[in-house]
Amino acid sequence: MPDAPTRSFARSTALKAVAHQLIPGGAHTYAKGDDQYPELAPGFIDRGLGCRVWDVDGNEYIEYGMGLRSVILGHAYPSVVAAAHREMLRGMNFTRPSPLEVEGAQALLDLVDGAEMVKFAKNGSDVTTAAVKLARAYTHRDRVAICAEHPFFSTDDWFIGTTAMAAGIPRAIRELTVKFHFNDLASLAALFTKHPNEIACVVMEAATSIEPEPGFLEAVQAECRTRGAVLILDEMITGFRFHLGGAQKLYGLTPDLSTFGKALGNGFPIAALAGKRELMELGGLRHDRDRVFLLSTTHGAETSSLAAALQTMRVYRDEGVIEALAQQGERLRAGIQQAARTLGVERHFAVIGHPANLVYATRDPEGRPSQAYRALFLQELVRRGVLAPSFVVSYSHLDRDIDETVEAVAGALAVYRRALDDGVERYLVGRPVKPVLRGLN
């Protein structure tokens, strides 16, 4: 197979130089940063439509992941844009609430079975942090137990303090967050034993690319109840990708609190904290306990994002989006696996995870996880018109897009095969990708 041509990134390159002068890291979101992508990759995306994007040099790509998994229906999805636009024309932020706040709350609660109240915000980090604060207030405890294998919960100190980027976060805060292991109930029980009556909440996702073993999630829920801790389920990724009722519905859980974001507004900034009345009311007016300062910001409930979320939820409900995502993900996985087998790289390159949330693993000739091979794969995909930090599909990825992607993957894996034999440095232009935090894309 002939090598694909190298694309021109002249405008991207020029803009990068300016960006790093003006913005620490050259981008306002780490997952979009230059350290996450190989040198031969578009630096800036100019526009998108459906599952396709165009970079500032005019190159076209089929995109995966799409806005850190936020754009689940597709870029510029007409009915969502129209719903948001209608509200923009009617005014976006008033001195008292819009009825859309109530309509949006009802729509979300109609989807999430065990939740009785909801509060909207702009970012997933904010709602997850709010859940932690509520749990601390409710239990009068300070410690937080998080799942060690789950890559990201919040940009706030209680979580970032536990990562490799903990600079600037006081030790006292860092020490309050403790870790247990997924599918290892004993590790959670050990935390409760080590810190008796100190753990306010357990924060986790129901599943990532690793599925829960039978009974594990139920046992975590039971352990939380026995130990008087609040169970917080982070549904930022699973919410509305795994099931219309969230992963909690799929796995039969009733968390005390759960948090949604990303795909809730098809790219519009909106996130939600949903949960049991008993906890949520602590942020309200109808009690005489100390009131929890629960998510109140200037832009928290502007109307265009609420309208976008309402329309996005309508499309999920009416059009079988969840089934379509799973189907396209399976088509993609099957095609890629077939290509990997044909090229004899299946021990070095694997697509893993839920079909609506596919990621990939890259391994070197010795079978060790390799960022250099990841960079090479990304580079070769970009050459072939695919921008895929993951293989997370949207509702706009149709059969022809998937088939085109599989063809590009086959071409990229042919180079990968040669690199396994001859050395990655012969094929990779520039330095390998070097993400500081996992799971940001």
Q: Is 237 in the site for ligand PLP (CB under 6 A)?
A: yes
The span of 139-147, 231-239, 329-337, 424-432 binding ligand PLP (CB under 6 A) equals 231-239
Kind of pairing between the strands at 257-260 and 199-204 = unpaired
Q: Shortest distance, CB of residue 70 to ligand PLP, whole angstroms?
A: 8
Q: Is 159 in the site for ligand PLP (CB under 6 A)?
A: no
- The interface mask with ligand PLP, positions 368-387, x = CB under 6 A, is --------------------
- Chain residue at closest Cβ approach to ligand PLP: 124
- For residue 271, the cross-strand partners are 121
Please provide the DSSP assignment of 338-398 as one string.
HHHHHTT-TTTEEEES-GGGBEEEEB-TTS-B-HHHHHHHHHHHHHTTEE-SSB---TT--
The Cα–Cα gap between 151 and 47 comes to: 29
- Measured between its terminal Cα atoms, the distance across the chain in Å is 30
259-278 positions binding ligand PLP, by CB under 6 A:
261, 271
Contact 127, 273 (CB under 8 A): yes
φ and ψ at residue 416, rounded to 5 degrees: -55, -45
Count of positions on this chain that bind ligand PLP (CB under 6 A):
16
Q: Is 336 in the site for ligand PLP (CB under 6 A)?
A: no
- The interface mask with ligand PLP, positions 57-86, x = CB under 6 A, is -----------x------------------
Q: Is 123 in the site for ligand PLP (CB under 6 A)?
A: yes
Residue whose CB is less far from ligand PLP, 87 or 234: 234
- Chosen residue from 204, 236, 294, 332 binding ligand PLP by CB under 6 A: 236
Write b or e for each residue in 143-173: b if 16 or more Cβ atoms lie within 10 A of its Cβ, otherwise e: bbbbbebbebbbebbbbbbbeeeeeebeeeb
Residue whose CB is less far from ligand PLP, 104 or 411: 104
Q: Quick one: which of 128, 119, 114, 99 has its CA closest to 272?
A: 119
What is the SS3 assignment for 193? helix
Q: Shortest distance, CB of residue 238 to ligand PLP, whole angstroms?
A: 8
Q: Which residues contact 424 (CB under 8 A, 6 or more apart)?
A: 364, 370, 372, 373, 376
The Cα–Cα gap between 163 and 438 comes to: 10
Q: Is 349 in the site for ligand PLP (CB under 6 A)?
A: no
φ and ψ at residue 278, rounded to 5 degrees: -55, -40
Q: Is 362 in the site for ligand PLP (CB under 6 A)?
A: no
The Cα–Cα gap between 153 and 128 comes to: 7
Residue whose CB is less far from ligand PLP, 237 or 392: 237
- Chosen residue from 36, 98, 128, 390 binding ligand PLP by CB under 6 A: 128
Q: Is 234 in the site for ligand PLP (CB under 6 A)?
A: yes
Residue whose CB is less far from ligand PLP, 258 or 328: 258
What is the SS3 assignment for 309? helix
Residue whose CB is less far from ligand PLP, 25 or 58: 25
- Chosen residue from 61, 120, 152, 373 binding ligand PLP by CB under 6 A: 152
List of residues contacting ligand PLP (CB under 6 A) = 68, 123-125, 128, 152-155, 205, 234, 236-237, 261, 271, 440
